[in-house]
Structure 1
C-alpha cells in the first residue's frame, strides 16, 4: 500500500488559525480551545488503513487525557467528491460510531491542511499552551500488518511532557499514513529538503 511520511516542520511553529464545521454545522476555530494547556490537531480520514488501525485507541486516549488538560481536534481534508466516504455527513457517522469525544471537522477547501503543511493521515500536531508546535510525529510504531500493538506510546510521552510544562524529546519519528486526497490541481508544491 502507498505510504506518505509527514513533513518535517520546525518545532515552535505557531498553530495556524481555522474556522471549520462539524457534521452538525457547529463552527470551531483555534480560539475555541484556548483554555486548554495542550492541543492536538489530528488530520485523519475515515478510510485510510493507518487511521482505521488506531481510531479506537485515539478515542480512548482522548477520553483518558481530556481531564488532564488535552484538547483534541480532528480534521478531515480529503476530497469528498472523489471519495464519498469522506463527506461531512460520513464524518459525523464516524465520530458517533467510534466514540470521538472531540470535534471532527471538515476542511472542504483543504486550506487548513495546507496551512499546517499536513500531507498524510494520520498527521499529528501537538501544541503547547502558547500554541507552539511541541511534537509532530507518530501516534506509536504500530502500522497495518506489522503486528505491533497500538499503544499511543509516542503521543502519550509527548502530551505528558507538555502538560508538565516541559518539551517533548527532539527525537520524533515522522508519522506515516495515506496521502491526503487533494482536490485536482490543489496538491501542495513539494518541499525542498536541504541536503
Structure 2
C-alpha cells in the first residue's frame, strides 16, 4: 500500500513539472532588440519614441515619421565643435538628406541659463542665424530626451531607419577636433550611414565615440 502511494505521488509530481515546463512565455515579454530598462539604446535596437515642441511651438513626435529615415542631431550653437561643422558642412549634409526624403531633427537639450539654450523668438530665429537646413528644431530644455538617448556631446548623432531602428549612434565624423581645416578629408559617418540605407546595404559603421562639448543638462536632472 505504501509503495502504491509513493508511485502515485511521483506520477502527480512529474505531471506538474511537465505542465510548468510547457507554460507559454508572457505575451508582454520584451523584444530582443529593445534596450534594457535604464540602458541607453544602441545600434540595432528600437529607437525610443518621444514628443517635443519645435521652435514654432508645434508638438513633433518621432512616431509621426515612421516609415522614413530620421537623423537626430544634438546641437549647441555656442559650442566650438558645432561651430566648426556649421561653417557649411553640416548645413550641406542637412540639405542633401532632406532632399532625399530624410527627416532631420536638430535637438537642443541645453537647460535654461546654460550655453546654447534658446526659446521663444530666439528659437524661431535659430535656423536663420545658423543657416540650418534641418526639418525641425526641437527644444528639450529638461534634457529628458537627450538623456533617453544618452546624448553626451554636441554634436552627437543618431540615424534611425524606416522601421524605427537605430542604425548609427555617435560622432558626426572621424576628426575629433574643433578645427575647420579638419573637415577636409574627414570620414562622415552620418553621410555613410545614409548612403548605406539608400543602397539597401547594412550600415558598415554603426557606432563611433562622440566628441564635442558636453550637453548642458540641468544640474538637478
Shorter-normalised TM range = 0.7 to 0.9
Structure (1/2) with the larger helix percentage:
2
d(CA) in 1 for partners of 2:42 and 2:71?
Answer: 16
Question: Which structure exhibits the higher relative contact order, with contacts defined as CA atoms closer than 8 Å and separated by 6 or more residues?
Answer: 1
Q: 1:141 to 1:92 in 2, by over 3 A?
A: farther
**1:164 pairs with 2:195:** no
Q: Which runs of 5+ in 2 are unaligned?
A: 1-38
Q: Does 1:29 align with 2:61?
A: yes
Cα displacement (A) at 1:131: 1.4
Distance 2:199 2:211 in 1: 27
For the pair shown, which has the larger CA radius of gyration, 1 or 2? Answer: 2
Could you tell me the TM-score, scaled by structure 2's length? 0.72
Q: Which runs of 4+ in 1 moved over 4 A?
A: none
RMSD (CA atoms): 2.2
Whether 1:82 aligns to 2:114 is yes
CA gap of 1:47–1:15, structure 2 versus 1, over 3 A, is same
- Spell out, residue by residue over 1:4-25, the C-alpha distance to the aligned partner (whole angstroms, 9 max, x if none): xxx9853112111121112211
Determine if contact 1:22/1:103 at 8 Å carries over to the other structure.
Answer: yes
Matching of residue 94 in structure 1 with residue 129 in structure 2? no
**Displacement of 1:35:** 4.1
The match for 1:110 is: 143
Match of 2:77 in 1: 46
What is the rounded CA distance, in whole Å, between the counterparts of 1:132 and 1:103 in structure 2?
20
* Alignment-derived partner of residue 22 in structure 2: none
Q: Distance between the aligned counterparts of 1:164 and 1:124, measured in 2?
A: 20
Task: Report the count of equivalent residues.
Answer: 178
